[in-house]
Amino acid sequence: MTGMTGASVPSVKPNSDRGKPVKASTKDQAEGNFNKAAGKLKEIAGKLSMNPQPEAEGQDEKRAGKVQEKLGKIEKVLRK
């Protein structure tokens, strides 16, 4: 056993969720979280550079992300 550490590697279960498509509600929630984070970064960049345009764009993007996340949550509840 030259070069082997003896660590076991977990096998992938054939019935795993790996090949299944992502639900629209989950995708909306993830994109909403991403947009909230990106908006927050733009808002901070605008404040640091004392430029009101990126700050306002960041606030708008953050709000849109919150709405998208809420829509994903509502859609998830309605599908149950």
pLDDT of 77: 87
Walk along the chain (80 residues) and give the pLDDT tens digit of each residue. Answer: 455 566 676 665 656 566 677 788 888 888 999 999 999 999 999 999 999 999 999 999 999 999 999 998 888 888 87
pLDDT of 17: 62
Buried b (16+ CB within 10 A) or exposed e, 53-62: ebbebbeebb
pLDDT of 22: 73
Residue 54 has which token pair?
A: 């990126």
HEC per residue, the chain: CCCCCCCCCCCCCCCCCCCCCCCHHHHHHHHHHHHHHHHHHHHHHHHHCCCHHHHHHHHHHHHHHHHHHHHHHHHHHHCC
